[in-house]
Amino acid sequence: MWRIRDEKNRQILRVATFNLQNLRLRTREGRPVLDGAVDQDRPDVPLSIEIDLADREKTATVVSMVQADVVALQEVFDLAALDYFHDTFLVRTGSPEYPFRYCLPGNDGRGLNVAALSRRRAVSAKSHAELTGADLGLSDLPHDLRNQKLFRRDCLELDFENVTLFICHFKAPYPDPEKALLVRKAEAQAVRKIVDARFPQPENERWMILGDFNEPARGTPPSRSTLAPLKRGFSIDLLDRLSPGTNWTYEVLATHVRSRPDRILVSPRLAQEYPEVRPQIVRSGMISSLRGCLDEPAPGEAPHRPHASDHALVYADFPGL
C-alpha cells in the first residue's frame, strides 16, 4: 500500500492538502463533465468543455506527481464528482488508485465540501457539520454563530490507525470581510474544541489539522489572524518551518499579494517526533499568469487557463508513521 520509502527502507506516510477549485460533475451537451478550475462567481469566464477538461487533466497531473498517501481536499461538490475525477482523470495519469474516497455533505450552499483521497482505509469518518456554537460551549459568539450551524463547510475527521486528520475549509473573506473574519475565528475555536473533546491530552496524541483556512496575507495585524486559537502551543504550523517568502500557496492576480491559506498543523507530539519535517509546496499547476515561477501558457491558451487550481498543493512526509 505504501510506495514511498526512505534510505532506511522505512515506510513514509505522505499527507497532502489541495483546494481543487470548484470540482463539480454536471451533464453538459449530453455527457458528464467536471467543471473546470474556475470560481462559480466568475460570469465573465466563458464555459468551455475543452478548457474544463484541460483544467482537470492538470489537476490530476499535480495530484499524481506528488503520490501522497492521503490527500485532504477542498471544494469537492460530492462523492460522485470525486469518484469521476479519480476514475476518469487521475487513474489515466498512471497514478496508483486511491481505493478509499471520502466526501460527506457539509454546509456550503453551493455544495463545495471537504473530502479526501486515501490509500489506507480510515477507521472512521465523521462530519461535524451539524455542530452549533452552543453545542461546543462557545457562549460568547454572536447569536447566528452560537445557535446555528457554525462551520461554513465542515470539519471532516478521519481517524486512521496511527494518526487522526481534521480536514477544514474556513469561510472565505467575502462578501463581508468583517463578518467572514468573525466566522473564521469561530471555526478555529470550534476545531480546537473538537480536538480537545477527541483527546483528553491532545499534546500527547498524533493528529493533524489541515486544509484551506483562508488565513490573510503575511503582515496582516495579529487581530485579524484566524488561526490564533489553534496555535500558541496547541499545534505547530509546518509552514512556519519554511523561509519567509517561500511559503506562499495563493496569489491574488490583480494585486499579486501572496498568502498561505493552505496549512498543515500538527500536534506537539508529532512536531517533536518529526523536528526536521519540512512541507513541500507544488505550484506547477497554478494559474499560468502568476509571475516568475510557473508554467507559461501554450499558444492559443487563455492567459489564466487551463490550470489545476488557483491554490498550490502542500504535502509533508512522516517516516515510519
Q: What are phi and psi of 195, to 5 degrees?
A: -65, -45
**Long-range contacts formed by 49-54: CB under 8 A, 24+ apart:** 51/302, 51/305, 51/306, 54/305, 54/306
Which three cell numbers mark 125?
469518518
User: Over 90: is that where the pLDDT of 153 sits?
Assistant: yes
Helices (H), the chain: 49-66, 79-84, 143-146, 177-198, 268-273
Mean pLDDT of the 233-239 span? 97
Task: Round the average pLDDT of the chain to a whole number and report it.
Answer: 90
Residues above pLDDT 70, as percent of the chain: 89
For residue 73 the three cell numbers come to: 481536499
250-281 pLDDT, tens per residue? 998 878 889 999 999 999 999 999 999 999 99
Strand, helix or coil at 239? Answer: helix
Contact 211, 17 (CB under 8 A): yes
More confident residue, 219 or 97: 97
* Residues written for the chain: 321
Is the model's pLDDT at 199 over the cut of 50?
yes
Average pLDDT over residues 205-219: 91
Q: Above 80 in pLDDT, residue 2?
A: no
Q: Using pLDDT thresholds of 50, 70 and 90, give the confidence band for residue 183.
A: very high
- Report all structural domains of the chain as residue ranges with CATH numbers, in order of start: 12-319 (3.60.10.10)
pLDDT for 41 equals: 64
Q: What is the pLDDT of residues 92-130, one digit of tens each?
A: 999 999 999 999 999 998 899 999 999 999 999 999 999
CA angle 282, 288, 290 (to 5 degrees): 80
pLDDT at 44 (0 to 100): 64
Q: What is the pLDDT of residue 297?
A: 45
Answer yes or no: is pLDDT of 298 > 60. Answer: no
SS3 content of the chain, % helix, strand, coil (to 5): 25, 25, 50
pLDDT at 232: 86
Angstrom distance (rounded) from CA 282 to CA 17: 11
**Percent of the chain scored above 90 by pLDDT?**
77
User: What local confidence, expressed as pLDDT, does residue 224 receive?
Assistant: 81
CA gap 263, 89 in Å, rounded? 26
DSSP conformational letter for 213? -
What average pLDDT does range 143-167 have in this prediction? 96
Confidence of residue 210 (pLDDT cuts 50, 70, 90): very high
- Grid cell at residue 197: 473533546
Q: Are strands 262-266 and 236-237 parallel, antiparallel or unpaired?
A: antiparallel
222 or 243, greater pLDDT:
243
Amino acid in the structure at residue 108: D
- What's the average model confidence in pLDDT over 49-56? 95
